[in-house]
Amino acid sequence: MTHHIRWMNRRDMERVLEIEQHTDNPHVWSREDFITNLRQRNCVGMVAENNDWTINGFMVYELHKNKLFLLNMGVTPESRRQAIGAAMVGKLLGKLEVDRRHMLRTIVSDQNTSFHFFLRSVGLKAIDVYYGHFEPDDSAYVFSYDLLDDWFTQDHTMADTLR
């Protein structure tokens, strides 16, 4: 089944909230959380829908000077392991450029281990731990993909860099 990833609109909110309720995230967003974030100028919401226009996933991310920051993401339980999440992260990775936004970051509760495994499977690495980030007994892992790390590990010379 193919999926189309498009910008989120107001009509999508009920379905997005429904999906959010079924994620493994211990810090579920409310309608107000979505609205507050999506009203920010640098915040973008996207949904993944299948051929019959059923929304099966969503993501919310922020645009920063040198990075994209994934704030929230969810896929319906029945649609997991069908590459929907990978397609959404792939969409974000496709927006990265060496000379502009070269990094994708997210912060994930240490309780959300299924999302940890997913992020690793799509190429992000855990690079830091924020102890007590969400609550005193709930730390968070910072996951990152940096295009520059990938780019500099390839066989590039200084002449390539200057071109």
Report DSSP letters for 45-86, one per residue.
EEEEE-TT--EEEEEEEEE-SSEEEEEEEEE-GGGTTSSHHH
Q: Structurally, how many domains does the chain consist of? A: 1
pTM of the model: 0.85
pLDDT tens digits, the chain, 163 residues: what are they? 577 999 999 999 999 999 999 887 778 999 999 999 999 999 999 999 988 888 999 999 999 999 999 999 999 888 788 789 999 999 999 999 988 899 999 999 888 888 999 999 999 999 988 877 667 777 899 999 998 886 555 554 444 444 4
From CA 49, how far away is CA 66, in angstroms rounded? 29
**Which conformational region is residue 146 in: left (phi greater than 0), alpha (psi within -120 to 50 degrees), or beta?**
beta
What CATH number is given to the structural domain containing 95?
3.40.630.30
Q: Which domain holds residue 99?
A: 4-162
Q: What letter does residue 41 receive in the DSSP assignment?
A: T
CA distances from 53 to 1, 3, 6, 32 (A): 12, 9, 11, 25
